[in-house]
Amino acid sequence: AQKVTQAQTEISVVEKEDVTLDCVYETRDTTYYLFWYKQPPSGELVFLIRRNSFDEQNEISGRYSWNFQKSTSSFNFTITASQVVDSAVYFCALSEEGGGSEKLVFGKGMKLTVNP
């Protein structure tokens, strides 16, 4: 069964601090996909990144970076030099390949508050 665990429920930082959001997943499949979504206070879900299980290269996009480690089943997300606009709930999600569905299974989310 698929499961995503975001152990941290809420983090508060001061602007310009770096912050890492943890995500641990469980799956029996060898092919799967991992995602991060951002949900700002306005409520929409904004796609940030998708990685497949065969690509363990870390990725950097501006102030965002992702560390995927299959050995520990983790897909952590780091925001460097955080800004107030980063304040949101961040969800990690997992999708398994096949079956014609590829539904997303979300973690419980982590609320990040960046204070000026």
Partner 1 sequence: EPEVTQTPSHQVTQMGQEVILRCVPISNHLYFYWYRQILGQKVEFLVSFYNNEISEKSEIFDDQFSVERPDGSNFTLKIRSTKLEDSAMYFCASSEGSSVEGEQYFGPGTRLTVT
Contact pattern from residue 29 through residue 48 relative to partner 1, giving x for each residue in contact according to CB under 8 A and a dash for the rest: ---xx-x-x-----xxxxx-
CB of 18 to partner 1, least distance (A): 25
Q: Pick the stretch among 11-19, 62-70, 80-88, 92-100 that binds partner 1 (CB under 8 A).
A: 92-100
77 part of the interface to partner 1, by CB under 8 A: no
90 binds partner 1 (CB under 8 A): no
Min separation Cβ 110 and partner 1, Å: 11
Strands (E), the chain: 3-5, 10-14, 19-21, 24-26, 32-39, 46-52, 59-61, 64-69, 74-79, 88-96, 105-106, 110-115
Q: Which residues of 39-67 are buried (b: 16+ CB within 10 A; e: fewer)?
A: eeeeeeeeebbebebeeeeeeeeeebbbb
Residue numbers at the binding site for partner 1 (CB under 8 A): 32-33, 35, 37, 43-47, 50, 52, 91, 93, 95-109
